[in-house]
Structures are given as structure tokens and as C-alpha cells.
Structure 1
Amino acid sequence: MKSKSEVKSRGPKKIIIPRRIPSEVPPKRIPVYPTPDKTTCLECPCFPKEDPYIRNKKLNPCQKTPLTLYELAAKVVDRLKLPKAFDWSESDVAKWLTDDVGLGQYTECILNNHINGRRLLLLEDPSNLAQINIKDFSHIQKITSKIRELFSMELIRFARSIGLPPRKPLTHCTIFKSRTGPSWGVRRNWNRCDILRWMKILMPEPEHMDHWDLVWYQKPDFPKIKFGRVKKSGITYNYIPHYNPQPDVCREYLIPRKFKIQKGISDSQQYIWMEKLPEPVREEKKKIVTPRKSRLIPDRISLTGLTGKDLILARRKMARPKFLP
């Protein structure tokens, strides 16, 4: 039997809390293979061991084609650095609000709501400032303008054309990179051009294809099988209807003003646009036609309200039934 001194006492069990893993982690990029058999990489200067068909050995399949202007411009955009304010702490934001903006009375609002450099970008929306107890309109204007200047963001004006995107492309990239959460794995690894391609602002990434890639899909099948003079089966095709477009109708027209408010305008320009309402559809009244009296069609006799002699005379004038009951 082991003594009590020999028996090891168990210590407290260590609790291991697993770290949170981002729910969306983008896969690694697949390398581009210039050869059709997909065995030769861009860096390797040699041929694959098993050639699917005889090639000219003088051609170098690993020779890189020069980058297009589109890719060179994309590399310049990807090398643009994000604003330094992204790495600010809560105290840095409070210091910026006191020194640069000049509104030190809102330091507690920043510290109590834990607003760091990335969350500071959310305050570009004026409605969010009211939620952290900043309600002075002049102060809201000053803070939002300083945030746009700090992050190089675009102010959406009222008279902006609706045909344009809601913001400039680099503003979208800055907002995309500022968010954190379960999708942080995607937001950290994507560059600016990936974001703009995902938003369909840029075209997809061009594919590099050498001579053998282009020829591989153009080789004809051998032996070929051709069909000629084959009778069509009784396939019924659905008729596609074609609709004539309706003409554009203008629902507005110009009329002269009844009350002239501005006196500096000539009478030839005193016109306003009015809505042209459709005229109400008038229903045609049916004409009441009274039938003419005829000897062939006797008048209909009603016995209601008749008594005595009038009732007897009215019964005599009524038609007798043709068949007895």
C-alpha cells in the first residue's frame, strides 16, 4: 500500500477558454498555371515530365507576360495606406477632440462609449452623435466635418446626381476596413481592389493565358461525328409575345401665373407648370324609350287597388287562359 505522502494530490483543474475564430476566413489564392495541363507554375523554368502533346521545346512556357495598365493601376491603389486614425485608442480620440476640434467638454462621451479610432468613423453620420449625448447642431457640424477631413471621406451633398454611386470608391474601402466582428477575417485580407470588384465598380481580375492555354480549347475533337438531314421531331415552341411600347404622355403643361410674386421677371416668363389631370369618363345616359301602343298588344291590366264595379270591368278586359287548369 502507498503511503499518503506518496499519493500525488491533484491540483485545481485549469480552465482553457478557446479563442474566438472568425466565422468567415477567405481561402488562399489559387496560383495561376500558364500551361493547359496545370502542372507548371509561373516561377518554374522547366517543362512538366509528362507532356500531354508534343510542344516546341524552344518556347518557354513560364515566360511572364507584362502587366497591363489595369493591373499596374490596381497595385498603386492597393499600396495606398489607411488613415493613421485607425490605430487610435480611446484616449487618442479624446485628445484629438480636445486639441484639434476644440470641444473638450465631450471627452467623457468618448471615454464612456469606448470610441476608438475605428468607431470614430461611425460618428461621421450625424444621427449617431445624438445617441452619445452630443446634440448641439453647430458642434455636430464641426465634429462631422473634422472626421471627414481626418479619414478623407466624401460628403454626400443634396444636389448630387443619382446616376453616380452613393460615395467615392475609396470612401467605401475605408468604411469596409473599419468594421470588426465575425467577418473580420475577410475584411483584414481583402485589399482595395478586391472590395471594388466585389461591389462591381471595377471589372473582374484579368486572366493570364499563354499560347498553349489559348490553343488547348480550340483543338477539334477527333474523330468528328456530324449529323445531316435529320428530321425535326414534333417539338412545340412557346410563342414569345411582343408588346408594343406605350407612348410617353406628358402630364404637365405651362399656364400663366395668376399671382405674380417676383416683380423683376417679364410677363413672357411668368409661367408655372401644372399637372394635367385626366378628364373624368362620362357615362352615356340610356334613353328611356316608351313603347308605342298597338291593338295587337293589349295593355297590361293590374287589379291592385280596384274594388266594386271597376274590379269587375277590369276582369272582363283581362285575357282569358287558353287552357283550363
Structure 2
Amino acid sequence: MRVLLTGAGGFVGQITAKALLDDPKVTELILTDIVEPPVPHDAKYRDRATVVKADLHDAANDLAAKKPDVVLLLHGIMSSGAEADFELGYRVNVDATRTLLFALARGRPGVRVIYASSIAVYGSPCPKRGLTEETPTTPESSYGCQKIICETYINDLTRRGKIDGLVLRFPGITVRPGKPAAAASSFMSGIIREPMDGKECVVPTTNRTWRMWVSSPGTLVKNILIATRLDTSSLARHRRVVLLPGFATTIDGMLDALAKVGGKDKLDLVKLEEDASLKPLFDSWPEEYDNSFGLALGFKQDDSFVTVVQEYVDGLKQTNGTAH
């Protein structure tokens, strides 16, 4: 199986690349990004990776000509970044995606295309709980609007038989290592990551019972790999959207997990400070989704936020030899 992965230099791109390069069924992995992406150093089959530094606007036809069997569209400007730079957000999140999709439709018809969408497509006045793939999308951010546009491209090209598309609406992904991302939800990782590194984290809300819908990086990657081999014959050709299973947690739930896994002393490093500019966005986010469709297709769900934090701490130990 030859796989093309865009946005390969990002966090999700790198952990997905590692999993693919550990899979003996992947004969070639083409990693592309605007900045040359690294090949994960600890991958089992690193020699099967091909790195392409490219702007998708210019390289779409060349990438399609490589005849991938599966394409993973993971590139993008994150939510806060897309809101701050309107034109860049549309250029990267919409225009580049459309350019590559159309090149694939011409040069590799029928290819499996997996698109990374987001629960950011939902907004008021949708219900707070029980949302499904059929719930009307009313995004309240440019990022969410850009995702809906590309979901429509995927559905239409699949309906026309040009690609075999699948849209995965990601939950909030936590815990992400490294520096905070340009996303309004970045504190969902910072609330664990920074204290575990001995640093202070400022959470932009004082609502300790506010519910967030999340998934761990490990479970996300498992679900992306499931999507590469999913039998789509039972899915409607004009509706290829799947809500990846997540679960609800609160600020209190996150802090409890931090104390349980990292120690109660870590709680002193978390400060809750209301950010009025973000409150309308946070208030627009639904609290709980219906996982039944995704679970029926075979996608996976985390057990609890404690297991999510434990996964992160175990990863720190493997990388650094210890966790603070």
C-alpha cells in the first residue's frame, strides 16, 4: 500500500507517519509539507519513506502522479491561526485542499482519500448534547467554515466516483507534546503538558464544570489507520462523514487526572483566568456527541481522561527517560 500524507511535519502527521512506517503492509509513505518534514527516527521501516517539500498549490499534479492507494489530508492552519489570518486560512485549508483533490480526481480516480475535519463545524443553535453526523453544521469560526467547504468537496467527488472519500471529524486531541498550537483549544493539552514539565499553564476559563469533547493522540492514530482499510461500500456515496468517537471531560476532570497521574503538587501550576474574547467561542461548542455510528464502523474510544494522561506520561518516559 502506497500512502500520501499531507501536513506530515505537524504533530498528528508525525505520529501517523510513525504508525504507518511501523506497518509492514505500507510499502511506501510519501510525506509532504510546506517545510521538509522529518521521517520519525524510531519508525521500523524508515527506508520506505519518501519526503517531498512542497506547496500543494504547485505540487498537486506531481503528487497525484505518484499513484497513492491512500491519501491522508492532515495539513492545515489551526483554528486561532485561521481566525487571525483570514486569507492564509482559506489559502491553506480550502484552496490547497481543493487543488490536490481535483488533481487526484484526474490522475488517480477512485483513490481512498481521508480528510481530517473537526467538531469545529458545529456551533449554535445546535444542541449541547447528542449531536450526530446528521446534525446541521453551523460553524462560528473561519476554521469550521473551511472544514465544511472541504467536506462538501469530498462528498461530491465521492458521489461522482472520482475518489473514495471519508471525512473524519476529530474531537479535541489531548495531550499534545511540544509548544502550544495556534488553536483556541490548545489549553486542553497545556493543562497537563506544562505542569508535567514544571511550568505554569493559564487556562482561559474559570468554569470548572465546562464540558469538552476529547480523544487521545494514540486513539486518534488507531482510528486514522482503521479508516485506511475501512469497507465503505455500505456508506452513502454523497455522505461520507464520521464523527470519530470521543468522550466528555471537564476542567475538574482534567485536574483530577493530573493529580492522580502526576501528583497533587502539579495543581499549583494551573491558573484559571477568564478570557472574555474566547468565551463566546467556548460557549458555542457542544458538550457531548453521539458515538454510535463511528463505533458501529469499528472506530475506537478512550476509556477515561486518566488513561489519556497516563499515555502522555508514558510517552515522556520513553522519549526523555523520565517524567517530572
Common fold, TM-score beyond 0.5? Answer: no
Which protein, 1 or 2, shows the higher relative CO under an 8 Å CA cutoff with sep ≥ 6?
2
Task: Normalising by structure 1, report the TM-score.
Answer: 0.20
- Considering fraction of residues, name the structure with more strand: 2
| Larger Rg, first or second structure (1 or 2) | 1
- Considering fraction of residues, name the structure with more helix: 2
